[in-house]
């Protein structure tokens, strides 16, 4: 599956899960996806209180779905 870097954030997705990591600080967390009618959709994440905007951009650039309430 895809991987992408936006700014200092690296994101990788494999099957229905993935991870993200800040290239300088090493902070990051996990990503969980579910197959929905519109495509693979982010349903949960951990490691941070709020998902960084760059991570959302990277996920969407990979053709995956992040709904507004996950931003």
What percent of the chain is predicted at pLDDT more than 70?
99
Strand-strand pairing, 9-14 and 28-36: unpaired
- DSSP class of residue 1 equals -
Q: What is the DSSP string of 5-44?
A: EETTEEEEEETTEEEEEETTT--EEEEEEEEETTEEEEEE
What residues does each domain of the chain span?
3-70
| Whole-prediction pTM | 0.93
Helix (H) or strand (E) holding 53, with range, is helix 53-61
Model confidence over 6-25: pLDDT tens digits?
Answer: 999 999 999 899 999 999 99
């Amino acid at each position: 599956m895809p991987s992408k870097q936006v700014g200092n954030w690296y994101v990788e997705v494999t099957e229905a899960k993935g991870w993200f990591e800040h290239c300088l600080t090493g902070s990051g967390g996990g990503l969980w996806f579910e197959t929905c009618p519109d495509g693979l959709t982010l349903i949960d994440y951990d490691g941070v209180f709020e998902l960084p905007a760059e991570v959302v951009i990277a996920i969407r650039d990979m053709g995956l779905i992040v709904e507004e309430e996950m931003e």
